[in-house]
Structure 1
Amino acid sequence: MSHYRRLRDLREDRDLTQRQLADLLQMKQPQYQRYESGERDISSELLIQLADYYGVSTDYILGRTNNPKINR
């Protein structure tokens, strides 16, 4: 599975703890931690939810581009 380093970077840029973000996503902190560490693969639904929350593209979160802007 992938290591979603950008998830951590985006979260830290907003000065959020894993617990705070997990609460926003309505999940427990250990579950969210497994996404950041790559222990659990991220679902499409959660990926879109996070991209919308941070205002970045899903490709940016996945590391497919270094451009966080969303192409419309």
Structure 2
Amino acid sequence: MTLEEKLIHLRKEKGITQLELAEAVEVSRQAVSKWESGSATPSTEKLLGLSELYGVSVDYLLHDCDLKAGEIEPLPQKAGDDLKTSHGGTGKAAVRWFAIIVGFLILIILILIGVLYSNKSREEPIRIDEMAGEEVTGVPKIEFDLEW
């Protein structure tokens, strides 16, 4: 059952009109109509209100499932839905955490490589009086008269 179908089913089961639902969740009747036709989706705040009003979870509203004897049963997996969690939701949070951890490990490895490389390339400083070179001679001495 899609979100739109669930919204229609739950509203009719509760025996209320679109206008009464709109007043209960503080939106316009047109907004409820758009939700039920699938041309708009309720905000998170409104989904919370709908779940409280109907006595169902937001998870139930958002995920495709059928009603059987008042219980929620997930629909069979579709092609491409290979990341499912045990509660029937998608594993987007798990994938996000995995990506964060992998990124963090890569950052640590790059920092370690940088530290090791910088230690190998560091040489002892050479004092200026130990530098080999030619003596500079014949440079004229310039004097400045600072009196005005």
TM-score if structure 1 supplies the norm length?
A: 0.78
Quick one: distance in 1 between partners of 2:26 and 2:42? Answer: 15
Q: Deviations over 1:45-67 (max 9, x none)?
A: 11111111111111221234441
**Alignment-derived partner of residue 15 in structure 1:** 15
Maintained 8 Å contact 2:18/2:32 = yes
CA distance in 1, matches of 2:3, 2:38: 4
| Equivalences, count | 68
Q: What is the alpha-carbon root mean square deviation over aligned residues? A: 2.2
2:41 corresponds to: 41
Query: Unmatched 5+ residue regions in structure 1?
Result: none
Matches within 5 A, 1:44-55: 44-55=44-55
Alignment partners' CA distance in 2, 1:15 and 1:3: 18
Contact 1:4–1:61 under 8 Å retained in 2: no
2:58 and 2:64 mapped to 1: Cα distance? 9
Moved over 4 A (4+): none
Structure 2, unpaired ranges of 5+: 67-71, 74-148
1:38–1:3 CA distance, 2 compared to 1 (3 A): farther
Larger radius of gyration: 2
Which structure features the higher share of helix residues?
1
TM-score, L = length of structure 2 = 0.41
Look up the equivalent residue of 2:9 and give its one-letter code: D
Q: Which structure exhibits the higher relative contact order, with contacts defined as CA atoms closer than 8 Å and separated by 6 or more residues?
A: 1
Identity %: 31
Report the 3-state secondary structure (helix = DSSP H, G, I; strand = E; otherwise coil) of the residue aligned with 1:42. coil
Give the SS at the match of 2:21: helix
Shift of 1:3: 5.0
